Structure 1
Amino acid sequence: MKRAALAFLQDWLQSSARKPLVIRGARQVGKTWLIRHLAAIQQKQLIELNFEKNPEYKHYFTQNDPQMIIRYLEAALQCTIEPHHSILFLDEI
């Protein structure tokens, strides 16, 4: 099952018409592992925001401007985010 899910995610990541993706499922089935693994094998920067552990992250998304959101995240996480080389993973929303 994980192999099929990973293949689907790799196809999604390579698509030029890619849209945001929601991964849903029961707790503790490997959703987070799958995204981390995808980022690692595709050599993408993973920006992982866990809203359960850090509820203050919601404040970065009050803007509708993606560039502003990226700037807020870069300042908060003290890193540089390259949108075309990164995966933004919003966990435990």
Structure 2
Amino acid sequence: MKYSKEFKEEALKLSDEIGLKKAAQQLGIQYYTLADWRKDRKAALSRPKLSDSEADKRIRELERENAELRKANDILKDALGFFAKDRKK
């Protein structure tokens, strides 16, 4: 089942107030579903927030790294083709 963002937020607030098990029972959802939402919230809060310029810089770095890895992958594919062709002889 798909729950709205608002429902999840309210469910988490309730679980903070009355506890995970009681909140899950009261809302009629699985305990583990609510526990997973809590874990996801904790992970999101522990991630550092980047400013727009920092995020743009990080995106450029990742795009550059991605391009380098694609080149390396193409080189390895070519080398594999070369050696495979050599083995057929």
Greater share of residues in helix = 2
Greater share of residues in strand = 1
Taking structure 1 as the reference length, what is the TM-score of the superposition?
0.26
Larger Rg: 2
Query: Does 1 or 2 have the higher relative contact order (CA < 8 Å, sep 6+)?
Result: 1
